[in-house]
């Protein structure tokens, strides 16, 4: 059976529910162990007929939660840095879609960590890419870093052709990305490609957040304020080549103008605008 018969229904205005101030809770190993609030991103009904998606789903379920020969009702929940899946009866999902009732919330609710797709496998083409913020730009969280540093986890958008290469060729298509920035050492540098991520859903935001906290806790050993030594060496070589003194902007200046600091500043402004709209009750009307 074709997996495309599983059609996710996005929750209208889901992204205007920003859950500002939502707290994530962390275990000793830097991983998220829980979150105060979730929002419902979308719902799905998995038909009883055999499909790759159904098999893949059932592989992750405990025996007592499997429903042989019956369809599954699924609600995909998300927080800024965490995804979860509620497993229920399709009738519950249908009532929720019709606005007739809320999703169950009691101790018998079956919740699994994560969404069925982490960007690969049979669910990859079923679950649409989503961002936390309506335009894919905003602040997800902030962490206290080394020596008073502030490490910011944020979503941003960029032309697809420039997402991995600052001087690439623009394509006119927008890519949703997630990354972090440290205001003490201005990490990650533009060439650190493994510190920015395609932003396809909560799984990617969670992964980026883990990198951000590793830096904030000094675990990657990289949080050192720029000394300007590198710029001095490069400037000396450039000066000799050109036969006149050449000055290069400091790392902090470049960052403020066009790199991490600039993107965080923009994400912060967008977040403030959305938060103001939400508190005026005008969210989602733009
Ligand atoms: Zn740092
Ligand atoms: Zn910076």
- How would you write the pLDDT of the chain (286 residues) with one tens digit per residue? 455 589 999 999 999 999 999 999 999 888 899 999 999 999 999 999 999 999 999 999 999 999 999 999 999 999 999 999 999 999 999 999 999 999 998 888 999 999 997 777 899 989 999 999 999 999 999 999 999 999 999 999 999 999 998 889 999 999 999 999 999 999 998 888 999 999 999 999 999 999 999 999 998 888 988 777 777 877 788 888 888 887 777 888 889 988 999 999 999 999 999 999 888 765 444 3
Between the CA of 263 and the centroid of ligand 2 the distance, in Å, is 9
Contact indicator for 173, 162 with CB cutoff of 8 Å: no
Between the CA of 66 and the centroid of ligand 1 the distance, in Å, is 46
Between the CA of 246 and the centroid of ligand 2 the distance, in Å, is 23
Distance CA 153, CA 178 (A): 8
Name the token pair of 90. 């399709």
Task: Using CB atoms within 10 Å of the CB of residue 189, give its burial: 0 to 12 exposed, 13 to 18 middle, 19+ buried.
Answer: middle
> 10 Å Cβ neighbour count for 77?
20
Phi/psi of residue 144, nearest 5 degrees: -75, 130
Distance CA 215, CA 142 (A): 12
Name the token pair of 183. 């205001």
Between the CA of 107 and the centroid of ligand 1 the distance, in Å, is 41
For residue 261, the ligand closest to its alpha carbon is 2
Distance CA 51, CA 123 (A): 11
Between the CA of 123 and the centroid of ligand 2 the distance, in Å, is 37
Distance CA 89, CA 108 (A): 13
Give pLDDT, residue 127: 94
C-alpha distances (whole Å) from 200 to each of 110, 118, 120, 132, 207 are 24, 8, 11, 10, 11
Condensed to tens digits (0 to 9), the pLDDT of residues 171-194 reads 999 999 999 999 999 999 888 899
> 10 Å Cβ neighbour count for 9?
12
Between the CA of 212 and the centroid of ligand 1 the distance, in Å, is 9
Between the CA of 258 and the centroid of ligand 2 the distance, in Å, is 9
**Number of residues that this document lists for the chain:** 286
Question: Global pTM?
Answer: 0.89
**How far from the centroid of its chain's Cα atoms is residue 227's Cα?**
32
Contact indicator for 134, 274 with CB cutoff of 8 Å: yes
For residue 218, the ligand closest to its alpha carbon is 1
Mean pLDDT of the chain: 91
For residue 264, the ligand closest to its alpha carbon is 2
Reduced to 3 states (helix: H, G, I; strand: E, B; else coil), residue 263 is: helix
Give pLDDT, residue 171: 96
Q: Is it true that the peptide bond before 188 is cis, omega within 30 degrees of 0? A: yes
Between the CA of 225 and the centroid of ligand 1 the distance, in Å, is 7
For residue 265, the ligand closest to its alpha carbon is 2
Contact indicator for 255, 262 with CB cutoff of 8 Å: yes
Between the CA of 90 and the centroid of ligand 2 the distance, in Å, is 48
Between the CA of 55 and the centroid of ligand 1 the distance, in Å, is 43
Between the CA of 238 and the centroid of ligand 1 the distance, in Å, is 28
Name the token pair of 99. 């606005």
DSSP code at position 100: S
Q: Which helix (H) or strand (E) holds 213?
A: helix 202-216
Between the CA of 151 and the centroid of ligand 1 the distance, in Å, is 7
For residue 250, the ligand closest to its alpha carbon is 2
Between the CA of 34 and the centroid of ligand 1 the distance, in Å, is 26
**How far from the centroid of its chain's Cα atoms is residue 262's Cα?**
19
């Amino acid at each position: 059976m074709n997996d495309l018969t599983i059609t996710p229904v996005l929750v209208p205005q889901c992204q205007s529910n920003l859950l500002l101030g939502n707290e994530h809770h962390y275990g000793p190993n830097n991983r998220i162990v829980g979150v105060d609030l979730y929002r419902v991103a979308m719902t799905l009904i998995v038909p009883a007929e055999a499909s790759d998606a159904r098999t893949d789903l059932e592989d992750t379920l405990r025996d007592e939660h499997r429903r042989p020969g019956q369809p599954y009702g699924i609600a995909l929940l998300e927080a800024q840095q965490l995804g979860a899946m509620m497993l229920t009866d399709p009738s519950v999902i249908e009532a929720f879609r019709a606005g007739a009732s809320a999703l169950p919330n009691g101790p018998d609710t079956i919740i699994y960590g994560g969404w069925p797709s982490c960007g690969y496998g049979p669910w990859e083409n079923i679950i649409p890419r989503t961002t936390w913020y309506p335009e894919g730009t905003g602040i997800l969280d902030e962490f206290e870093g080394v020596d008073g540093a502030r490490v910011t986890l944020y979503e941003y958008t960029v032309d697809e052709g420039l997402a991995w290469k600052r001087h690439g060729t623009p394509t006119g298509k927008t890519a949703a990305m997630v990354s972090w920035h440290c205001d003490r050492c201005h990490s990650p540098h533009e060439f650190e490609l493994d510190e920015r991520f395609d932003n396809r859903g909560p799984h990617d935001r969670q992964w980026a957040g883990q990198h951000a906290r590793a830096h904030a806790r000094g675990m990657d050993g990289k949080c050192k304020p720029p000394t300007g030594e590198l710029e001095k060496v490069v400037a000396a070589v450039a000066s000799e080549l050109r036969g006149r003194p050449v000055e290069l902007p400091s790392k902090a200046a470049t960052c403020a103008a066009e790199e991490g600091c600039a993107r965080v500043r923009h994400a912060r402004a967008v977040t403030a605008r959305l938060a103001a709209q939400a508190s005026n009750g005008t969210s989602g009307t733009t």
